A and B are shown apart, each in its own frame.
Chain A
């Protein structure tokens, strides 16, 4: 009993190691959600951490040639966005486009790249971008509809294989 209690705590002696790899799953297509995924993937690469991205469901919009640079933020059903704004007004035609335009303008001030340029940066840094097969089938999207940085359309099983190995984290957005 005393022996057990006196055993040194092995965990305390272990050296802390940096993450080796992150897999970021983006299932949403709102501007702020996609940017969260992009910033985290690019940020990982900047720290010398491998980054893989997997886009599924509405997140697929972010990797389509047509949609990538035209993402919107939601002005309705988004209580943190202009809390004083009545929902009915926020739902008026053109309001969402205007709000998204204003948000992109603020991002430009911070020197944030547009979505397609962000993907180019991530690819240049060695990051890999994948699309979900099931969602692509559902939305009738093919590889040629997607940005050139999209490496492949893969199954959920293949996605887990991307996160193989220890010191890997999966982040779901």
Chain B
């Protein structure tokens, strides 16, 4: 299932596996990406993912600090939801480019 979705010829991923076109994102696809990172998505995850997608669409550069100030999750919870580098992992699952932030 995971491979099938990810290998769908219309989906283009960059070298590191980030979705090239955020418009191709679906919640189903998010679940597949999450499964690859050993994460089972809950509503809370989707709140964050939708927030990230909305901010990315607005052209806001994303940082962990901004996620912490979003009112959805604090930074600690963000690390818990997306272990192993929360901003990178969540961006990949949200179908947006790899974050280019140092903070």
Contact = CB atoms under 8 A, between A and B. Distances in A.
B71 interface: no
Contact of B76 (A47, A48, A117, A124): A124
A110 B83 CA distance: 26
B65 A111 contact: yes
B45 to A, nearest CB: 17
Interface in B47-103: 63-66, 68, 74-76, 79, 83-88, 102-103
A47 B79 contact: no
Contacts of B86: 46, 125
B74 A124 contact: yes
Chain A, interface residues (CB within 8 Å), range: 10 to 19
Contacts, number: 44
A110 B102 CA distance: 10
B18 to A, nearest CB: 15
A126 to B, nearest CB: 6
A111 B64 CA distance: 11
Given A48-B84, A124-B76, A43 B65 contact: no
Contact of B103 (A111, A120, A124): A111
Interface residues of B, number: 17
B65 A46 contact: no
Given A39-B102, A39-B103, A113-B103, A121 B85 contact: no
A106 to B, nearest CB: 14
Contacts of B63: 111
Contacts of A117: 65
A75 interface: no
A39 B102 CA distance: 7
A100 interface: no
Contacts of A46: 64, 85-88
Nearest to B77: A124
A56 interface: no
23 contacts: A39-B102, A45-B79, A45-B85, A46-B85, A46-B87, A47-B85, A48-B83, A48-B85, A111-B63, A111-B65, A112-B103, A113-B65, A117-B65, A120-B75, A121-B65, A124-B68, A124-B74, A124-B76, A124-B79, A125-B64, A125-B76, A125-B79, A125-B86
